[in-house]
Structure 1
Amino acid sequence: MAILKTQAKEKGYFKVPAWEQALRCVEVVAVPALAFFLLSKGGAFALAGALLLGMHYPRTAYLGHDLAHNHWGPRDDAKPRFMLGVVALFQGFGSAWWIEKHELHHSFPNGCRVGEDGVLVPIDGDIDSVPWIVWDKALVDYNSKACKSTWQRLLSYVMPRFQVPLFFPLLSLARFNWSWQSIETAARRGLNLEAALCVAHWALGLTLAGFLTPGPAWTGWLWFLCAQLLGGFILAFVFVLNHTGMEVYDATEAKGFYDRQARSTRNTPTSAFLDWLTGGLNSQIEHHMYPTMARRNLPKMREATRKAMIDCGYVYEELKNGEAMAAVLLALGEAARA
């Protein structure tokens, strides 16, 4: 992997060219502006605007993901820091919450530690969704023990039993949860500007939607919330294909960084459209191996990475999108019945 990384750097794969950065800056502002303009026209135009805005929210999240992974340079530099603020305003997510949990996810995807009572406790926050979802049957005991209040215990009893039919509706609500966690984390850490920008996303969005809609204000608010639901669904759908349904393991039994990645990370098919739709996260294995690599270059590393991992005795899992979702639902179903 070190050799492949050196070769990729020599080819410039880790650089995001200036034209692409400029395009992303235009996109993050122009697409929402166009969506709200279409809302003002009403009817089919408004519907097209909602679809456009819903499709755009994952795109803005991918930009924040790139910035936090230092794709535009060290994230504490002026330009990435400014752009992360732009993303917080136009997306409603803050980088403090994302970085806090996502870097741990990269180190221990699907990883757990064993508690004093012998129960697996998630290290990776992406598989810790108590009391709403049990991502794997190995986490059933943890889900039960982690609930403290009566309300949480009730939810942890009811929700997992219906998590397969409720799964897609829950994905649609993901944006609201992530935005709230962003605001809570930023406020807790004293990052008042970031928290204010995340709040402003909702306040300005609802205000503009209520003002610009040709009908009653509530129709604009509904338009805005529907776009949020669509955006949350697309983004969560992309994320769950990468790791859900793969091994949930005791990190002390894994044989180092590459073994942890191979146990728990999968790719889904690549094409110009799929790379655009997923923000390059369909090449999830390569993203975990080279997290600072520009996303547009990740597919170029697939074949070499596959060969290197197989030669070193690791698994390289690649499934079609339908097969990956089937694996996700199978794991959720097994957890529901456990």
Structure 2
Amino acid sequence: MSDLDPGRVRPQQQYASLYTDLLRTVQELGLLRRRRGYYYTRMSCAAAVLVGIAVGAVVLGDSWFQLVLAVVLALTLVQVAFLSHDSAHRQIFDSAARNDWTARILSGGVLGMSATWWRTKHNRHHGAPNQVDKDPDVQMKVLAFTPDDVVRRKPFGRWLADRQGWFFFPLLTLEGVALHVSSIQHLMRRDASKAERVDLGVVIARLTLYVAAVYLLLPVDKATAFLGLQLAVFGLFLGAAFAPNHKGMPLVPAGMKLDFLRRQVLTSRNIRGGVITDFAMGGLNYQIEHHLFPSMPRPTLRRVRPIVREYCELHGISYTEVGLFSSYRIVVDYLNNVGLRARDPFECPLVATYRK
């Protein structure tokens, strides 16, 4: 795919050209074309289910069967979150503005979260996945991701870090609440823009109206159980879709520079599976391809996977793909043993090449 002669160019040029060649191939195959029909169908189905849940809640009235609807609502909102994610990555429309507005409507109006907060955080992650000084996803206060994080903690914190893998999935039940809180905190900054002030009004209105509707429709005990279950299931399933993608993969030390292709492939993990896995994980099971081509429509990721895998094998780049439950075992094991991991958890392939 490359016209460069490895014997006549410097290693930096060779590494830089690898992604360019792969991207050119993908573009020539038309794999970056928008799939608006797919997304219109997804959004229409999600809207229909949400309307059905609202009607069902009114019909059921004062009944513990409302908890079934709470679970269905949570799972539907997870799918809406995936759609917002795709729109924020500008996968749906050619127009950046239409993508951004769609993400803001889905995130703020339907989910009750800030699209601007999430986009800022997520873009930092995509720019430096698993880099300890740049990726916000490995800079959490609750979980320790590096040996240095463990060392800095007090005795109870170190005890918890040694067992944090077992607490990981129970903690995900709180992820929904954490996302709402983080969104509001971001939007309430003193230097928030006018657009963010508008987003704050939308998010607060959505959360207020939703909670008020639940408590007006149901007695306090059932309403509280409904909200608690909905938030717990939402956080668990959304977190379970994002968790296997990078946790337990190599960490990039602070200050280390890597070429784009290796940075994205070596720190990401794909999850094997079929249509059900694709649906449950919102296409995030093709994490390697998503990181290489963030604006690629979700249904195309499956098609580009064999191309990327073959390309990585051709150039000796490790391509990681495991089953879903295997990935969870890896995550739990890594988190439980993070304090025992090597101090330098990642050997840069560029440095290794230059050393030779």
Q: CA deviation at 1:304?
A: 0.9
Alignment correspondent of 2:89: 69
Contact 1:267–1:285 (Cα < 8 Å) also in 2:
yes
Contact 1:136–1:332 (Cα < 8 Å) also in 2:
no
Give distance in 1, aligned partners of 2:264 and 2:287: 10
Alignment correspondent of 1:16: 34
Taking the TM superposition and a 5 Å limit, the aligned residue runs for 1:1-338 are: 1-40=19-58, 41=60, 43=63, 45-73=65-93, 76-78=96-98, 80-112=100-132, 122-130=133-141, 132-137=142-147, 139-141=149-151, 144=153, 156-157=157-158, 159-188=160-189, 189-190=192-193, 191-213=196-218, 216-335=219-338
Give distance in 2, aligned partners of 1:201 and 1:158: 39
Q: CA deviation at 1:185?
A: 1.3
TM-score between both structures, scaled by the size of structure 1:
0.85
Give distance in 2, aligned partners of 1:154 and 1:175: 29
Contact 1:286–1:302 (Cα < 8 Å) also in 2:
yes
Structure 1 window deviating more from structure 2 (218-227 vs 320-329): it is 218-227
Contact 1:251–1:260 (Cα < 8 Å) also in 2:
no
Contact 2:173–2:235 (Cα < 8 Å) also in 1:
yes
Q: CA deviation at 1:73?
A: 3.5
Q: CA deviation at 1:174?
A: 0.9
Distance verdict in 2 for CA 1:309–1:126, change over 3 Å: same
Letter in 2 for 1:137: P
TM-score between both structures, scaled by the size of structure 2:
0.81
Structure 1 window deviating more from structure 2 (285-294 vs 198-207): it is 198-207
Q: CA deviation at 1:240?
A: 1.0
Distance verdict in 2 for CA 1:157–1:334, change over 3 Å: closer
Structure 1 window deviating more from structure 2 (4-13 vs 216-225): it is 4-13
The alignment partner of 2:188 has SS state of: helix
Letter in 1 for 2:72: L
Contact 1:32–1:53 (Cα < 8 Å) also in 2:
yes
Letter in 2 for 1:178: L
Provide Cα deviations, 1:251-278, integer angstroms capped at 9, x if missing partner. Answer: 5445322222233111001311111111
Give distance in 2, aligned partners of 1:287 and 1:328: 20
The alignment partner of 1:249 has SS state of: coil
Structure 1 window deviating more from structure 2 (46-55 vs 226-235): it is 46-55
Provide Cα deviations, 1:2-36, integer angstroms capped at 9, x if missing partner. Answer: 34433433444323333233223323433222223
Distance verdict in 2 for CA 1:320–1:199, change over 3 Å: same
Distance verdict in 2 for CA 1:75–1:89, change over 3 Å: farther
Q: Flag structure 2 segments of 5+ consecutive residues without an equivalent.
A: 1-18, 342-356
The alignment partner of 1:111 has SS state of: coil
Contact 2:269–2:287 (Cα < 8 Å) also in 1:
yes
Letter in 2 for 1:14: L
Structure 1 window deviating more from structure 2 (179-188 vs 318-327): it is 179-188
Q: CA deviation at 1:318?
A: 0.4
In our comparison, the structure showing a higher alpha carbon Rg is: 2
Q: CA deviation at 1:83?
A: 4.4
Distance verdict in 2 for CA 1:9–1:337, change over 3 Å: closer
The alignment partner of 1:313 has SS state of: coil
Distance verdict in 2 for CA 1:82–1:240, change over 3 Å: closer
RMSD: 2.4
Q: CA deviation at 1:101?
A: 1.4
Contact 1:110–1:249 (Cα < 8 Å) also in 2:
yes
Distance verdict in 2 for CA 1:317–1:303, change over 3 Å: same
Letter in 2 for 1:295: R
Contact 1:137–1:331 (Cα < 8 Å) also in 2:
no
Q: CA deviation at 1:247?
A: 1.1
Give distance in 2, aligned partners of 1:56 and 1:170: 21
Aligned length: 317
Contact 2:43–2:83 (Cα < 8 Å) also in 1:
no
Moved segments of 4+, more than 4 Å: 42-45
